[in-house]
Chains A and B, each alone.
Chain A
Amino acid sequence: MLVEHPDETTGLEIASGLRFAGYAVGICPGPHGHGRCPLTGPAGCAPAHDADLVICSLGYEHEAAREVLRELRTRYPDKTLVVETPHDMDESLRELLDGCHQLPAPASPEQIVTAVRSLSGHVAEAGSPDA
């Protein structure tokens, strides 16, 4: 599982919940003030590539975050995405999120873990449940 969350503490809470649910996790803070996201570069992102499911909570009012989401959808069209979505979505974001599992923001770590657990049956069909 890859958790994309800009807040370190919340990211760790989500990761902790997922770890106790039996999943290996990675946490990425996203592009806000942390330099360039490798996913949008030629090298790509190994954790995103290896993850069976990606939890995206980067705040999609920012273009940089949308760029990451766009890359994820383009590079890994079959990857399961759980996206924390804002209430007022514009048309382009709605289009971008088509087919993703959406959670209205702000979602608590428990809600996210529950959503992942409910989706993990699907994920297990494609790969190992703990990756």
Chain B
Amino acid sequence: MLILELYIFVLAGFVGFMVITRVPPLLHTPLMSATNAISGISLVGSLVAAGSHRSNVATILGFIAVVCATTNIVGGFLITDRMLKMFKRDEPKAKSPSETK
């Protein structure tokens, strides 16, 4: 099982490396907020800790973890979207005054 998990880790790391080397510096800030939102997936671990009711300590710690992870997911995806919405190409009509001159 552990070996299988190591395979997953190494392969996912490779995929990440390959994909992320091709992200242009233009989008490095959205990249950071995006990976941040995605790593909010630790929510799935927190949910089990908060809901399985094994001990009060675990439930409370799990609850705080759920809050933190949800904050990151919601805030992270929203801010990434907000940033990406801002990136616009030069529109043809904005270019025309300088071309006609």
Are A and B physically bound partners? no
Q: Which residues of A contact B (CB under 8 A)?
A: none
Binding site for A on B (CB under 8 A): none
